[in-house]
Amino acid sequence: MKLNQSISAMVWPVAIFAIMSGSLQAETTDALLQLSLRQAKALAVQEQVQLKGAQEQTIEMRAHSDETVAGYRPSLEFKASQVRQTENLKAMGFDFVGFPTMVGPFNTFDARVRLTQRVFDLSLLRNIDAAGHAVNAAQLHTQAIAQQVAGAAAFAYVEAQRSAQAVLAANANLELSASLLRLAQDQHKAGLGTGVDVVRAENVHSRNTLAQRQAISAAREADTRLRRALGIAMGTPLALTDPLQAKEAPMPHLPLALEAALQHRPELEALQQVIAQRSSERGAAAVANLPTVSLAGDVGPSGVTPAHNDYRTYSFGMQLSIPLLEGGAINARQDVAASRLRQAELELQDTNQQVEEDVRLALISLETSVDQVKTAATSLTLAERLLDQARDRFKTGVGDNLEVVDAQAMLAMARSTRIDALASYQMALINYQLSIGEMDYAAP
């Protein structure tokens, strides 16, 4: 029985779903969710809590930016007070003969609308610029997490495919060992085989039965991990529609791959924005001792009560503020800002090296997996031919079933190797897409 016949691309998604849904407890009556690899990545990006948390951090940074910008916007304030009070004139320095000591009680009413506007504050302007870069960095960080989430979902999807294919291969091995056990029994009855041949075939069939159960268990575990990677309820019924396959494609060139990674990796872009942010923060700290200029004015009624001796009064003017001595706080802030900038530059340098390492390793893995797929396909074909020959020799009584058992083991290993090679290729391709920052997770 050939693998490409027992695991047909037309029927294997249905078979996989039957294996998964049959082995898992019935937890829900929801409709079947059919997912391609691309749909799985889009669903994970939509549902994963980790990404939602990063999106909330972006919203938080945008709010902080708005708060910083508000320092350069007009501020309008209203205050009103009605006070009844007494005053001790001696406490105010009026200690003369004939002057009363206490005055009052008397009423005072005041209502003000006050407008303030910052005119010049270079430090604040640079902090506003820094806040804008912080928002950009948060958005790019969210994109990086989205790529990682999509990549994790893709890896889990391929592993679920591999595990399900392994179940089907285990079923094929079990069916083959059952047929060969019947053949050994028939040969023994016909006097063309021995009892040792039967025992040997029974032993192989027993091992294949155990291997099938282990494969089903591994498939259930992979299915559970896939649901977790997708961020969906564990009871949601799934059917994976994309088969394991290796598509013929030219190998990427290292220089072009490195160039793409340096341009598209969101981690690098985020760090560049962080450097710009901290450079602006250092600039803000450097000019913190410069003068600041503000305009202010107010208008409103002032009197005894709102309806008694109240007159409209106003004031307006300009305020100049120059920090003269803050106990070294300004210099300390400058040192902190300069250090934070150097830290960001070092982190970018390290990340650049990490990106180059990621790309090089991903290309090596991709090249190796392509060779593994070709070798595994050849090994599978040879193992199938060897089993056919050993079975024919055993049927004709030329040899015992030791050759058949060895050929069975080789075929089972070849099937497993073929499945692992296809899964390794797809995982290597996913890893390469992550390494150059081109993991596509848009909804189809």
Q: Kindly state the percentage of the chain with pLDDT values over 70.
A: 92
pTM over 0.85: no
Least confident stretch, 159-163, 217-221, 356-360, 396-400:
396-400
- The answer to whether residue 272 scores a pLDDT higher than 90 is yes
Write out pLDDT tens, residues 14-66. 444 444 444 444 445 567 889 889 999 999 999 888 888 999 999 999 999 99
- Which tops the pLDDT comparison, 20 or 229? 229
Report d(CA 367, CA 344) in Å as an integer. Answer: 34
Reported as a pLDDT band with limits 50, 70 and 90, residue 443 is confident
Q: What is the widest separation between alpha-carbon atoms in the chain?
A: 144
- The answer to whether residue 303 scores a pLDDT higher than 70 is yes
In the block, which residue shows the tokens 């340098």?
349
- The answer to whether residue 403 scores a pLDDT higher than 70 is yes
- The answer to whether residue 281 scores a pLDDT higher than 90 is yes
**Residue 90: closest CA among 98, 101, 99:** 101
What angle, 0 to 180 degrees and rounded to 10, lies between the N-to-C axes of helices 254-264 and 402-435? Answer: 50
- Give the chain's domains with CATH numbers: 3-73+121-288+323-435 (1.20.1600.10), 74-120+289-322 (2.20.200.10)
Least confident stretch, 22-31, 383-392, 415-424:
22-31
Report d(CA 266, CA 142) in Å as an integer. Answer: 9
What is the pLDDT at residue 8? 39
What is the pLDDT at residue 258? 93
What is the pLDDT at residue 184? 84
